[in-house]
Chain A
Amino acid sequence: MEVVSHKLDGGEKIEIAGEVDMHNSPGVREKLLEAAGRKVPLVVVDLAGVEYIDSSGLATLVECLQHMAGYGGKLALIGAGKSTRDVFAIARLDKVFTFYDSEEEALASAPKN
């Protein structure tokens, strides 16, 4: 599993690739909360490379979402494949997060200062 972050104009993109489970979700959590700790206004999480995600992975995203809401930041998800979206739906989190079809759409949703 790999987690890579890139700066974006107005935010940050975090790309997750591989399988996210109890063993490696702490690595995802660390990257997400590090961005939230810097009060990044928009964090775009790219899930296109995610081959498997379980409740521990979902928990890291929930935690980041809640942290960011605390300062008015936005967490946007892009690239989620069907299997990944299905896990969100099973956990009833598909309506909690905002899924975008592209990075451009996600950037357009950034909070306006």
Chain B
Amino acid sequence: MATPDGHEFSLTIPADARYLAMLRAVVGEALEVAGFDPEEGKEVVLALCEAVSNIISHCYQGNCEPITVRCLLLSDRLEIRLRDWGPKPDPSELKGRDLDELRPGGLGLHIMRETMDEVDFDFSHRDGTELRLVKYRPETDAG
């Protein structure tokens, strides 16, 4: 769909990890169409899949509920909004863990924050959470 500032598209997937590969393919191609550098595109895809994986495992905890992924490909940035309708996370759990401690797991949020310019959680919805991931285009680099 065209907007005055670019394009956007949405897809809703079940909270099932088997759909991650499809998501990577769709969003990866969209980023290429939108002219994002391939290396940056890989970072965005990684951050997106980390976010969706977190929703699957921590939010829905195995229940196959919907996750909506909305991608806005704008002139100055890419914005991905992930919407779930599950239990809201405890904000104190969103700080990320100490990376000096070597243990498996708990790296998803750190990876999102390292690869994206903005990572914002919106808990204002009556049900569920919206996560906003933003990557600015290099020429704007407002991040």
CB <8 Å contact, A54 and B110: no
Q: Does B95 contact A (CB under 8 A)?
A: no
Instruction: Give the interface size class of chain B.
Output: 20 to 34
Answer whether residue A52 sits at the interface, using C-beta atoms and an 8 A cutoff.
Answer: yes
Asked whether any CB of chain B lies closer than 8 Å to the CB of A19, the reply is yes
B2 to chain A, nearest CB (A): 30
Q: Tell me the residues in window 72-105 of chain A with beta carbons closer than 8 Å to chain B beta carbons.
A: 83, 86-87, 90-92, 96
Cβ-defined partner of A55 (8 Å) among B18, B21, B45, B111: B111
Determine whether the beta carbon of A59 is less than 8 Å from that of B17.
no
A54 pairs with B50, CB closer than 8 A: yes
Specify which chain A residues have a CB less than 8 angstroms from the CB of B57 in the assembled complex.
22
Chain A residue numbers with a CB within 8 Å of B94 are none
User: Which residues in A have their C-beta under 8 angstroms from that of B45?
Assistant: 52
Q: Chain B: which residue is nearest A53 at the CB level?
A: B46
Q: Which of B1-46 contact A (CB under 8 A)?
A: 17-18, 20-21, 24, 39, 42-43, 45-46
| B110 A91 Cβ-Cβ under 8 A | yes
- CB contact between B53 and one of A19, A54, A83 (< 8 Å): that residue: A54
Residues of A within 8 A of B42 (CB): 83, 86
Across-interface contacts of B102 in A (CB, < 8 A): 62, 66, 96
List residues 4-26 of chain A with CB under 8 A from any CB of chain B: 19, 21-23
In the docked arrangement, what's the CA distance between A52 and B41, Å?
12
A59 to B106 Cα, complex, angstroms = 9
